[in-house]
Structure 1
């Protein structure tokens, strides 16, 4: 039997935001591209995903998570892959952290 007594305590508080996400009951296929998706089909899927994100009460928490975790794929917090890469690159160049709409820092 595995001894779990030395594992850190629960970190549920770090993930509770996911329980309130607008995308919780929507299939992940809307937020993550299939391997062969290109062009207009990809842009339309991302547009639909971002529409869901606009209504999400935990959008900032989602975006903060994606930036901290350096999520490479999908739409997170209303931003696509290239948008998050550009935001991270901008942060690195300026040496500043991105601020959420509520004043918290994202990365």
Structure 2
């Protein structure tokens, strides 16, 4: 008989929040910049993605996941690539960003 007590438990609970995301039915090109996109066009696209994130019921989980895995691409949890890079550059900001989501 196979020994299963040492196998990892179900992980669905860890990722199930993603089914609640406001971005789930939106074209993902809004959240990830096309190659060569710069300046005002990039800011407008990121701002539109962040507006969707701002109303998302799983903003906290998404942001925490993006920060925890150091997600390098796209808008996640209302943070752009540049926002996360600035946070990663200063660990105190990472703590403050997570705390701000929980409080606000």
TM-score between both structures, scaled by the size of structure 1? 0.79
Stretches of 4+ aligned residues off by more than 6 angstroms: none
Matched, 1:97 2:102: no
Cα-to-partner distance string for 1:34-85 (whole Å, 9 max, x where unaligned): 1121112111110100110110011111000001111001101101111111
TM-score, length-normalised on structure 2?
Answer: 0.81
- How many matched pairs? 97
Q: Which sections of structure 2, spanning at least 5 residues, go unmatched? A: none
**Which has the larger share of helix?**
2
- What's the Cα RMSD here? 2.0
* 1:101 aligned counterpart, secondary structure: helix
Give 1:96 shift: 7.5
CA drift of 1:97 comes to 3.0
Deviation per CA, 1:10-53, whole angstroms, max 9, x where unpaired? 21111111111110100110000111211121111101001101
Structure 1 residues without counterparts, runs of 5 or longer:
none
Structure 2 SS opposite 1:36: coil
